[in-house]
Amino acid sequence: MPKHRDPEYKEYVAKLVVEEHRVARQVAFELELPESTVNHWVQPTRKRSWGRIRESM
């Protein structure tokens, strides 16, 4: 049965990859999560950060 994580935890994991420039594979290993799950959580955060970059140009 899959584990359900709260949105705050997902955001925390995504920010490790996007804002702290950590490798998704390494974060997944350290937190004992599937790499595909981490990548799935990271996608919305990356889109938001790219939107902010484009707006500032």
What are the sequence ranges of the domains in the chain? 7-56
- pLDDT at residue 33, as a whole number: 96
- pLDDT at residue 11, as a whole number: 95
- pLDDT at residue 53, as a whole number: 57
| Burial classification of residue 38, based on how many CB atoms lie within 10 Å of its CB (0-12 exposed, 13-18 middle, 19 or more buried) | buried
- pLDDT at residue 29, as a whole number: 98
Per-residue pLDDT of the chain (57 residues; tens, 9 = 90+): 567 899 999 999 999 999 999 999 999 999 999 999 999 999 998 888 766 655 666
Task: Based on DSSP, count helices (H) and strands (E) in the chain, helices before strands.
Answer: 3, 0
- pLDDT at residue 56, as a whole number: 65
The answer to pTM > 0.85 is: no
